[in-house]
Amino acid sequence: MKRLITALGAFLAGEDGPTAAEYALMAGFVVVAIAAVVGRLGGVVSASFSTVSSMIS
Q: What is the pLDDT of residues 1-13, one digit of tens each?
A: 788 788 877 777 7
Q: What one-character DSSP code corresponds to residue 30?
A: H
d(CA 57, CA 44): 20
Say what the pTM is. 0.52
Q: What does the domain layout of the chain look like in residue ranges?
A: 18-57
28-42 confidence digits (pLDDT tens)? 999 999 999 988 888
Q: What one-character DSSP code corresponds to residue 57?
A: -
d(CA 7, CA 4): 5
